[in-house]
Amino acid sequence: MSLTPATTRDFLCNGAEALVRVEPVELTPERAELSVDTGPWLRDPVAGFSRAALAVPLDDVTGHIIAAGSARDRWPVSLGIRIDLLADPPVDGSRLTVTGELITRDDRAGTTRGTTTDAAGTVIALITQRSHLVSVDVPPISPATPFTPPPSEVSIRDALGIRERGRGIVDLPPTVLAANGIGSVHGGIIICGAEFAAMSALEAGGEFRSTSIDVAFVRPGSAQDTTTFRGEVVHSGRSLAVVRVNATNSSGKTCAIATVTAQRVDS
């Protein structure tokens, strides 16, 4: 097996990365670092802030470590992601640092973890990702579909065209801003959709914040297809709520299953 270590030039910016203002700093088989420029796009009219937006760079920074240490005809796909969200992201234009490190790998899979820190060095999000390797003719070397980044003042919800069809039910319509390098819905965007559905199910009104999102990825979902997220409240107490979210494609087949834990802002 011939390995070719990745460099920042190998980082592929697709619609999802443009949406979240991700830029590469360092990519190696053992460690990776990205940066994110914050702004008003991180605000959300329902949840107050789109904490789950941090899932995009966290997915990238951990997934690219596995890609960097794998053969050119193998590409990592997420099996499961656990994200802990410790604070609201800043919206003042400051820069976030997103770092990842290898935990373990073999010729079939890998496990990585990462953090997001703000400009003061405070950790605001954590990830653990489990990836497995699939066969590809060549790794993605250009965006799956051309895209135009949205203006900074446009929220992620609006940029993605999220549609709410009832309490706990939201649709992600076909959009290049949800795509990863192979044209599937980016794992981080799936996590964003799970947060949107959970907050809808809770009728959050800015009173809840996501504190953890744990996702099992069942099958890829095409970014050229509509993905529907259905949230069911499992528990809602004075301070803590738990919502189960199923993401399905237009054929009704499950793409991902998420558990979203949220806490009341004043608790």
Indicate whether 7 pLDDT > 70: no
Report which of residues 165 and 1 the model is more confident about.
165
Report which of residues 216 and 135 the model is more confident about.
216
Mean pLDDT, range 184-210, rounded to an integer:
95
Report the CATH number at residue 197. Answer: 2.40.160.210
Question: What confidence tens digit (pLDDT) does each residue in 135-179 have?
Answer: 888 777 666 667 788 999 999 999 999 999 999 999 999 999 999
- 152 in a structural domain: no
Type of residue found at 212: S
Query: What is the reported pLDDT for 3?
Result: 43
Range of the domain at 127: 8-134+159-264
E-assigned strand segments in 1-91: 22-27, 31-37, 43-44, 48-49, 74-85
Give how many domains the chain has, as a whole number.
Answer: 1
Indicate whether 6 pLDDT > 90: no
- The pair phi, psi for residue 98, each rounded to 5°, is -120, 120
Question: What confidence tens digit (pLDDT) does each residue in 25-84 have?
Answer: 999 999 999 999 999 999 998 889 999 999 999 999 999 999 888 888 888 889 999 999
| Residue 82 DSSP SS3 | strand
- 150 in a structural domain: no
Query: What is the reported pLDDT for 267?
Result: 52
Report which of residues 5 and 136 the model is more confident about.
136
For 207-245, b where at least 16 C-beta lie within 10 A, e where not — what string?
Answer: bbbbbbbbbebeebbbbebebbbbbebeeeeeeebbbbb
pTM reported for the whole predicted model? 0.94
Indicate whether 90 pLDDT > 80: yes
Angle, CA 190 vertex, CA 184 and CA 196 arms, to 5°: 145
- Over pLDDT 70: what percentage of the chain? 94
- 77 in a structural domain: yes
E-assigned strand segments in 121-253: 123-135, 163-166, 169-172, 208-217, 227-236, 240-248
Angle, CA 28 vertex, CA 26 and CA 32 arms, to 5°: 50
Indicate whether 211 pLDDT > 70: yes
Q: Which tokens sit at 206? A: 């800015």
Indicate whether 4 pLDDT > 50: no
- 206 in a structural domain: yes
Query: What is the reported pLDDT for 129?
Result: 98
